[in-house]
C-alpha cells in the first residue's frame, strides 16, 4: 500500500549522546527510515548537539561509542543534517567541533523547516 | 482521519502512555481510525504481561489490550528495544505483537498523522 510513497521524515535529536538511550535508539529509526527510501532529515538541538561532538571517548563509562555512525549516514543517502545555531553558541561549540558536515540554522529557521515535514519524530 | 501513535516512555514512570491512551480514546470517539500504536524506547514496557499495579490503580497494560481488542488496533512493540529490556513473546500481554522498526516507518507513511508521546 505504501509502495512508492515518499514522505518527509524529520528526526529531532534533543538529548546528549550518553546518559539516556534516546540518541542511540533514534539512530536506529533513522537508518530504517532511510532503508524505506524516505526523505530523511536530522535536526540536532538543545543538548542533542553534543551527539555530533568530535573526539567522543566512552571507555570510562563502559558505553559503546556510536558516534562513528553519524559519519556513515552519508552512505545511506542521509545528507540533510541541521544544527541549531543557538544550541551550539550556548554550549561554547562551533561547527569545527562537529564530526560531520552540517547546516547550522537559527531556531526560527528550523521551525520553518519543521512546518514542511510530514512526520516529525523527537528523541 | 487515519492516525498512528508512537509511545516512547514506560508506564507509571511517565505520563506518555496515559496521555496516548486518553488521546486514542478521544480520537476514536470522534470517529477517527487508529490503525497502529507503536511502542519504542522504554515504551516497550507497556507490553509486559508481568505488570501488576496495586488494585486501586489503573492497569495501563490491560487497558491497551482492551482498547486494541475493542477497536482492532495493531499494538506493535519494537523487537530490538524489547529484547534490550527483557520483553519477549513469553511475557507479552494480549493484543501486542513484536516486530521491527519498519512497522513504525510504515505507520508514518500510511497514516495522515503520526502522533508521538514521549519525554
Sketch out chain A's domains with CATH numbers. 8-122 (3.40.1260.10)
CB pairs under 8 A between A and B: 50
Q: Do the Cβ atoms of B101 and A29 come within 8 Å? A: yes
Residue A29 has its nearest CB partner, among B104, B110, B119, at B104
What pLDDT, on a 0 to 100 scale, did the predictor assign at position A4? 85
Question: Per-residue pLDDT tens for A24-74?
Answer: 999 999 999 999 999 999 999 999 999 999 999 999 999 999 999 999 999
The grid coordinates listed for A1 are: 500500500
ipTM associated with this complex? 0.93
CA distance linking residue B39 with residue B2, whole number of Å: 18
Q: Do the Cβ atoms of B105 and A36 come within 8 Å? A: yes
Average pLDDT, chain B: 98
Full pLDDT tens readout for chain B, 119 residues: 999 999 999 999 999 999 999 999 999 999 999 999 999 999 999 999 999 999 999 999 999 999 999 999 999 999 999 999 999 999 999 999 999 999 999 999 999 999 999 99
Query: Maximum CA pair distance of chain A?
Result: 47
Active site residues of B: 78
Domain extents in chain B = 2-117
Average pLDDT, chain A: 96
**Homologous superfamily of the B2-117 domain (CATH):** DsrEFH-like (3.40.1260.10)
Query: Does the pLDDT at position A3 exceed 90?
Result: no
Residue-by-residue DSSP string for B17-84? HHHHHHHHHHHHHTT-EEEEEEE-GGGGGGGBTT----TTS--HHHHHHHHHHHHT-EEEEEHHHHHH
Query: Does the pLDDT at position A1 exceed 80?
Result: no
What pLDDT, on a 0 to 100 scale, did the predictor assign at position B12? 97
The per-residue b/e assignment along B53-67, b for 16 or more CB within 10 angstroms, e otherwise, is: eeeeeebbbebbbeb
What pLDDT, on a 0 to 100 scale, did the predictor assign at position B110? 97
Q: Do the Cβ atoms of A22 and B106 come within 8 Å? A: no
Q: Beta strand pairing status for B113-117 and B2-7? A: parallel
User: How much of chain A, in percent, has pLDDT values that exceed 70?
Assistant: 98
A interface toward B at CB cutoff 8 Å?
1-2, 5, 7, 9, 21-22, 25, 28-29, 32-33, 35-36, 38, 118-123
B interface toward A at CB cutoff 8 Å?
6, 8, 40-41, 80-81, 100-102, 104-106, 108-110, 114, 116, 118-119
Q: Do the Cβ atoms of A7 and B101 come within 8 Å? A: no
Question: Per-residue pLDDT tens for A82-120?
Answer: 999 999 999 999 999 999 999 999 999 999 999 999 999
CA dist list (Å): B46 to B26, B66, B74, B103: 20, 13, 14, 17
**Three-state DSSP string of A79-114:** CEEEEEHHHHHHCCCCHHHECCCCEEECHHHHHHHH
Q: Do the Cβ atoms of A121 and B41 come within 8 Å? A: no
* Chain A neighbors of B109, CB-CB under 8 A: 2, 5, 7, 36, 38
Query: Does the pLDDT at position A2 exceed 60?
Result: no
Amino acid at each position: 500500500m505504501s509502495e512508492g510513497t515518499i514522505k518527509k521524515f524529520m528526526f529531532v535529536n534533543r538529548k546528549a549522546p550518553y546518559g539516556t538511550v534516546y540518541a542511540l535508539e533514534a539512530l536506529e529509526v533513522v537508518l530504517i527510515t532511510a532503508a524505506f527510501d524516505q526523505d530523511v532529515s536530522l535536526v540536532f538541538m538543545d543538548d542533542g548537539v553534543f551527539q555530533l561532538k568530535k573526539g567522543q571517548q566512552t571507555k570510562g563509562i563502559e558505553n559503546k561509542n556510536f558516534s562513528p555512525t553519524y559519519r556513515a549516514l552519508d552512505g545511506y543517502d542521509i545528507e540533510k543534517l541541521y544544527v541549531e545555531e543557538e544550541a551550539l553558541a550556548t554550549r561554547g561549540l562551533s561547527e569545527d567541533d562537529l564530526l560531520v558536515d552540517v547546516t547550522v540554522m537559527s531556531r526560527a529557521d528550523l521551525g520553518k523547516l519543521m512546518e514542511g515535514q510530514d512526520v516529525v519524530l523527537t528523541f | 482521519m487515519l492516525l498512528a501513535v508512537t509511545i516512547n516512555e514506560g508506564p507509571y514512570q511517565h505520563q506518555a502512555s496515559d496521555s496516548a491512551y486518553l488521546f486514542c480514546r478521544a480520537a476514536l470517539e470522534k470517529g477517527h481510525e487508529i490503525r497502529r500504536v507503536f511502542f519504542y524506547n522504554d515504551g516497550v514496557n507497556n507490553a509486559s504481561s508481568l505488570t501488576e499495579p496495586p488494585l486501586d490503580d489503573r492497569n495501563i497494560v490491560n487497558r491497551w489490550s482492551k482498547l486494541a481488542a475493542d477497536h482492532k488496533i495493531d499494538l506493535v512493540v519494537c523487537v530490538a528495544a524489547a529484547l534490550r529490556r527483557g520483553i519477549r513473546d513469553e511475557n507479552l500481554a494480549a493484543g501486542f505483537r513484536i516486530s521491527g522498526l519498519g512497522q513504525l516507518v510504515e505507520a508514518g507513511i500510511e497514516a495522515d498523522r503520526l502522533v508521538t508521546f514521549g519525554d
